[in-house]
Amino acid sequence: MTIQKFITYTPLNVYGKQTDFNDELKLNVLETSGNYLLHKDLLRHLNSQRQGTVSTKTRSEVRGGGRKPWRQKGTGRARAGSNRSPLWKGGGVTFGPKPRQFELKVNKKERRLALQTLIYNKRNKLVIIDNLESELTEPKTKAFLKICKDCEISVDQKILVVTSKKTPTLKLATQNLKNVELISAGHLNTLSLLRAQQIILTPLAINDIKEIYCD
């Protein structure tokens, strides 16, 4: 069973000062523990990253082996019909891996519910910065670190930056920071949220989250 929860927030500007307006994010979360749903969505995300292209050759696919190595009887050796038998060096592989799909289906409503529940559970880790995409004019790590310092965000912890759109300037400013992950709101996922110790959001990203994941 789900219940509605609200996260009320006051965005900061890039200098760490509170802005003049408040807003709220309405989320549908599970009334009881949603760990099973988060685990299911996490497995879906991890499985979708697996290529599944590993392949081995069976005895029928290995080149050669058409001629019988020696006659059936009279040599004293064990009988053999092909030098590409799995018993032979250079032969086929018995029950080896073949290409396969690892995709795990999760219903769209379940995935949305898992993300909303996780966002609500991480509500104390959220920092809303207004106009982050447009205010960061220089593609420099130093400029992004200054914004983090002004907003009292520690770069020693895992930081997830969620924006409406990944701008080239923001990409270049964050790519050299090992603890910072930049993601667009449309690609928000359970794994990134679980890893993050601090989450930076922009009002535009929150609008996208409302539109994509909230009812």
Residue 75, Cβ density class (10 Å: 0-12 exposed, 13-18 middle, ≥19 buried): exposed
Which of 15-19, 75-79, 86-90, 106-110 is least confident?
Answer: 15-19
Q: What is the pLDDT of residue 23?
A: 86
pLDDT for residue 18: 87
Question: Per-residue confidence at 160, pLDDT binned at 50, 70, 90?
Answer: very high
Asked whether the predicted pLDDT for residue 30 surpasses 90, the reply is: no
Instruction: Give per-residue pLDDT as tens, 162-211.
Output: 999 888 999 999 999 999 999 999 999 999 999 999 999 999 999 999 89
Tell me the pLDDT tens digit for each residue of 9-23: 888 888 888 888 888
Task: Evaluate whether 38 touches 110 at the Cβ level (below 8 Å).
Answer: no
The pLDDT score that the predictor gives to residue 1 is 77
Is the torsion defined by CA of 170, 181, 165, 5 positive or negative?
negative
DSSP 30: E
Q: So what's the pLDDT on residue 133?
A: 84
The Cα 199–Cα 15 span in angstroms is 17
Res. 32: pLDDT tops 90: no
> In which band, very low, low, confident or very high, does the pLDDT at 141 lie, cut at 50, 70 and 90?
very high
Whether the Cβ atoms of residue 104 and residue 44 lie closer than 8 Å to each other: yes
- At 12, the amino acid letter reads L
- Average pLDDT value over all residues in the chain: 90
Q: What does the alpha-carbon distance between residue 215 and residue 200 come to, in Å, rounded to a whole number?
A: 23
Confidence check: pLDDT of 215 > 80: no
pLDDT tier at 24, thresholds 50, 70, 90: confident
DSSP string, 135-200: H--S--HHHHHHHHHHTT--TTS-EEEEESS--HHHHHHHTT-TTEEEEEGGG--HHHHHH-SEEE
- Provide the pLDDT for residue 56: 95
Give residue 158's pLDDT band: very low, low, confident or very high (50, 70, 90): very high
Whether residue 72 is predicted with pLDDT greater than 90 in this model: the reply is yes
Instruction: Say what the pTM is.
Output: 0.81
